[in-house]
Structure 1
């Protein structure tokens, strides 16, 4: 049965082994660590699933893109001799190489592995993708290689969308192994992923009698930040505050991130808490982010005017990096009272800690792991409904009455952030500069020791080494699969075999249609209605080879054509079908003058 499945008892700490009480399913990472001697000294090779959008800070910016861009910088900083880019086209690998070079790794070689040739991932031995959809790659691995050819590693971001929930539930039936992993960025998200997996496994057990489920490891590894780039320039503070017209007698509280009351953090507890403090102190709130639309912007500003009229409020476009640097430099306190199920980790509190700011956050999801209450700042309690109370919300989301934004938004309306605790946390920091400095310094040290990418990327390396050792040494938990195709992604000519009149076989009869020239057949590749399908069109040299091997009067078969051209029957099936489609060849399955059809 392989090595026993291990639980993690403390944050980022190894633990004792225990089996799951109901199912033999691999859910957690072992505590084995790799003896790395320095950042960049690799014990594992790896490939990166590369789609530019996942690593770009341009366009619609979300947390996963920020995390992806930071991950790529971490790879560059580690400066491996070689990485592999698993990309749809060579241009993707070239773009990844440019990004690594621009991020400080000009000597790192990048080898391209095409999406359609996954067996080549056996050379690096591991594929990392910046999302949890490794079930897709597991099926490709089964179809084109074998389960021991390489390991798969994904990572969670939001887990609240239907597509992600379906992807995670799909892990139960995908051909995954215990040498694969989904990195969970917090203990809270690990618990939510585990709940999905266990619920799906339990359903399959009751419905089909299934009892054996081999699932990937679920290690907890946080997202990281590049602390060196976030260190505050003390000399910038006065100029930055002057930019916003802020006096030294004002305490500046900042929020950084998307300004979305339905999808990020509802602002009411923040507004109420700061208003209570502003009765006795001069408080300025800077909200640095961006609004999804004009209605959202109006709601934020109207609610601030209604709920915290004593607080000076400033709005800054958080996508403007120069303005954002001024926001960080102006700040005394950072706050983020997340109450939303789309959040799984939360990078901005870590960025604030790396900047040396004390933080006031909600005791919610990943914040529970990152901010030490009373040391780096304050975590204020959150309260919501008990399990089983939200089936109506789930049904509305499932049926389509509510979209993703509404689902997250209405759920967050039933998550209470303790306003009294928020007010007390703000008041302590606003009235005690020494406490701010002490907590800010503790936060800075914690960020560097635990969340800097030099530390976090080592955790990834250790995980990848662990997966590689499992893949090489562990016994499989199930017999080899005889079916190697994903059941719901069949070959179209298998699933739709009953649609046509007939199918081509090795003995199918055909001939060249009189009057069809080689040049005319080649030209039909470029028809407006044809050229979109370049991936299946025979190249000009193949068209020439086939037509010159045929006469206009002779009936022949694929077997005979294969012998004449030196090609296999399988290689000729598509070209012959297409040449018939565009009027260059004629099939005859029943003519007395034609060979018998297969």
Structure 2
């Protein structure tokens, strides 16, 4: 496998020739669970990259990076996955090379800024594809609202991981549309595609042998009369799933069990701090004293193995708006474990009530009763964590229905097996990366078709990124006059060549290497003026066409150094 940095620069670009080709916007932190702060997006990114490298159909891998070292990290991941295709990297100095890749996949919804960056090279030169994770944070909501004001195009997309989150995205976009119509009288809104494609998992990771199951149950001291219930994920009552409904439901179910049966609850995850850890302990002691609670560290592979392999029933009663999809119920299904989940967000799509397990009804207040919560968050009165915590405090999960679901599963090994097998089959058929990656690639090919079909209708603006305008356009009224092709120039001194050599050696001059012409280019200009004044347009005619604009503006740099002067002012 070869790795190279792409060298396309400026406005140079190529029309995409492979519609399934795509670039991955890669920062190592977004695609690993080894970082100091493990979040759902990290797990999703790591899992996606592994799936993409396993199942992606391409004859070369493109990557967009902030630093070229990140490209080497991506190339290492490609090689480690056993792929031998060439890796081509694009950074900020060669952004136009993305036209050859065709589509850039971003591991978040904020493609607006990337649409602005693309504007310089042409809106139709490549597509942008983002994806939703949490959409409740201020940054995520701003990114979604910006889709209407940034130059995002119909050949771009933001993948929604569930129907619930797509509805949330559409509500934000509708509110932004209402504002823009009232504010500007806008009559046309341009939206990206908003397909619903779920997150994927590697279902083979969740297959356990009978020996592993026996060892795991022994590790948690669970015999044949013990019902092991598992919660997997961050242990955060304010930003993940408030556990009190689960505790109460398990206590009710425990009281209804035969006297020789018992319940063990495994909470496999991690607490952000000691305060949260103690809060969990106190709540469990108060609400489910009949249940033995075991805490395992979800950041450790051996603890995750113990948790998954020992469980009879999986539970996640999510009630938090920061959730959008929820990967762990699918992992439980892949492990053949029946699930008890809240009827909430992405769980509505993934878990079939009465087939793979049970979806427990939820209730929250109607619209109009949470504006104070939104305002407190917007004004930084509340942190994002408190915003989520206040909101989830007003979301109810039916405790009685949860207890009924637990009791039904505890009472019937046959029901547990039937639901577990149904979930296992569904996970393999619908949520394995082998199934999901082709959906991504089909989307990227569709975006290429839309882009190429609309290329001829794109009108370029003189200032495609208004807030990042050419400084000589934005500040055109600052100088006394502007250099034009008809501006007459002459030598300011007889030793111009020697003077220029001295001046350009100064640190205060040569720091601006990006705008300084070469010695040879300077000699061409100065030699042309030996016989008298000439217009600026004439001075650059002997240069290669692609260098003429560069040297033309650098004539002002030579004026600045008093090597040239305006002939009309002599």
Instruction: Give me the TM-score of the superposition, normalised by structure 1.
Output: 0.81
2:74 equivalent among 92, 96, 100: 96
Q: Which residue of 2 aligns with 1:393?
A: 373
Gap change, CA 1:349 and 1:565, over 3 Å in 2: same
- Which stretch shifts more, 404-413 or 51-60? 51-60
Gap change, CA 1:45 and 1:564, over 3 Å in 2: closer
Gap change, CA 1:141 and 1:428, over 3 Å in 2: same
Separation (CA, whole Å) in 1 of partners of 2:184 and 2:403: 53
**In the alignment, does 2:169 pair up with 1:197?**
no
**In the alignment, does 2:272 pair up with 1:292?**
yes
Gap change, CA 1:575 and 1:131, over 3 Å in 2: farther
Cα distance per residue 1:378-413 (max 9 Å; x no partner): 100010011121111111111111121111110111
Contact 2:515 2:554 in 1 (8 A): no
Cα distance per residue 1:308-348 (max 9 Å; x no partner): 22211111111111221111111111111111111000011
Gap change, CA 1:497 and 1:342, over 3 Å in 2: farther
Contact 2:122 2:460 in 1 (8 A): no
Q: How does 1:502-521 map to 2 (within 5 A)?
A: 505=483
Gap change, CA 1:402 and 1:495, over 3 Å in 2: farther
Gap change, CA 1:594 and 1:359, over 3 Å in 2: same
Separation (CA, whole Å) in 2 of partners of 1:382 and 1:453: 30
Q: Which residue of 2 aligns with 1:225?
A: 201
Q: How does 1:135-284 map to 2 (within 5 A)?
A: 135-147=112-124, 149-279=125-255, 280=257, 281-284=261-264
Q: Which residue of 2 aligns with 1:326?
A: 306
**In the alignment, does 2:282 pair up with 1:305?**
no
Match of 1:110, SS state, is strand
Q: Which residue of 2 aligns with 1:108?
A: 85
Separation (CA, whole Å) in 1 of partners of 2:91 and 2:380: 36
Gap change, CA 1:111 and 1:266, over 3 Å in 2: same
Separation (CA, whole Å) in 2 of partners of 1:293 and 1:114: 38
Q: How does 1:432-581 map to 2 (within 5 A)?
A: 432-473=412-453, 480-492=459-471, 494-495=473-474, 505=483, 524=507, 537-538=513-514, 542=518, 559=536, 568=548, 570-571=550-551
1:419 equivalent among 399, 408, 412: 399
Separation (CA, whole Å) in 2 of partners of 1:283 and 1:153: 45
Separation (CA, whole Å) in 1 of partners of 2:415 and 2:193: 41
Contact 1:72 1:100 in 2 (8 A): no
Contact 1:190 1:220 in 2 (8 A): yes
**In the alignment, does 2:52 pair up with 1:86?**
no
Separation (CA, whole Å) in 2 of partners of 1:310 and 1:265: 21
Quote how far apart the aligned CAs of 1:81 are: 2.1
- Which stretch shifts more, 250-259 or 562-571? 562-571
Separation (CA, whole Å) in 2 of partners of 1:475 and 1:518: 47
Gap change, CA 1:483 and 1:188, over 3 Å in 2: farther
Structure that is richer in helix per residue:
2
Gap change, CA 1:465 and 1:516, over 3 Å in 2: same
1:367 equivalent among 347, 350, 356: 347
Contact 1:187 1:369 in 2 (8 A): yes
Gap change, CA 1:541 and 1:203, over 3 Å in 2: closer
Gap change, CA 1:596 and 1:264, over 3 Å in 2: farther
Separation (CA, whole Å) in 2 of partners of 1:594 and 1:123: 44
Gap change, CA 1:521 and 1:78, over 3 Å in 2: same
Separation (CA, whole Å) in 2 of partners of 1:450 and 1:170: 32
Contact 1:118 1:145 in 2 (8 A): no
Separation (CA, whole Å) in 1 of partners of 2:444 and 2:516: 45
Gap change, CA 1:471 and 1:564, over 3 Å in 2: closer
Gap change, CA 1:305 and 1:123, over 3 Å in 2: same
Match of 1:198, SS state, is helix
Gap change, CA 1:594 and 1:205, over 3 Å in 2: closer
RMSD in angstroms over aligned alpha carbons?
3.4
Separation (CA, whole Å) in 2 of partners of 1:241 and 1:561: 84
Contact 1:358 1:377 in 2 (8 A): yes
Match of 1:438, SS state, is helix
- Which stretch shifts more, 156-165 or 502-511? 502-511
Contact 2:517 2:551 in 1 (8 A): no
- Which stretch shifts more, 154-163 or 230-239? 230-239
Cα distance per residue 1:27-65 (max 9 Å; x no partner): xxxxxxxxxxxxxxx961111111222112121111111
Gap change, CA 1:523 and 1:190, over 3 Å in 2: same
Match of 1:360, SS state, is strand
**In the alignment, does 2:321 pair up with 1:341?**
yes
Q: Which residue of 1 aligns with 2:8?
A: none
Match of 2:468, SS state, is coil
Separation (CA, whole Å) in 2 of partners of 1:337 and 1:493: 58
Gap change, CA 1:473 and 1:284, over 3 Å in 2: same
Gap change, CA 1:160 and 1:184, over 3 Å in 2: same
Separation (CA, whole Å) in 2 of partners of 1:169 and 1:249: 53
Q: Which residue of 2 aligns with 1:380?
A: 360
- Which stretch shifts more, 168-177 or 567-576? 567-576
Q: Which residue of 2 aligns with 1:16?
A: none
**In the alignment, does 2:335 pair up with 1:352?**
no
**In the alignment, does 2:97 pair up with 1:120?**
yes
Gap change, CA 1:549 and 1:121, over 3 Å in 2: closer
Separation (CA, whole Å) in 2 of partners of 1:242 and 1:519: 81
Q: Which residue of 2 aligns with 1:25?
A: none
Separation (CA, whole Å) in 2 of partners of 1:597 and 1:444: 84
**In the alignment, does 2:28 pair up with 1:52?**
yes
